Structure 1
Amino acid sequence: MHADIHLALHTDRAAELRHEAWEFRLPRTRLRTRIGWTMVEVGLRLARSGPTTPYARPFRTA
């Protein structure tokens, strides 16, 4: 296959794939929000669970 034809086919296919990916894309703000609140929930569960060993010190806040 000639190099120019190969480059043109590659460019067209890359544009098609970008277009398909753009249509399938999830909104970033919703995903970031869900991940953020999940991290907060996990942090609160870890903080509430208490020390795992009798020698562990409790958390101190300033």
Structure 2
Amino acid sequence: MHSETHLALHRLRAADLRAEADAHRLAVQAKRPHAIRTRLGWTLVEVGLRLASPGPALAH
């Protein structure tokens, strides 16, 4: 294979790999808010349970 042809194919493949990596990064970033919503949801559940449970009895 001619060296210029080999170089051109290498550049095309490198560009394809970069595009694939960018698409993967975007997909991973799109999933992150779901994890934040899950943590926030469980935090709200915990706060709700603390508010719903009876507090300690006050001594007179």
TM range (shorter): 0.3 to 0.5
State which structure, 1 or 2, has the greater radius of gyration over its C-alpha atoms: 2
Normalising by structure 1, report the TM-score.
0.41
* More contact order relative to length (CA 8 Å, sep ≥ 6): 1
> Per residue, is there more helix in 1 or in 2?
2
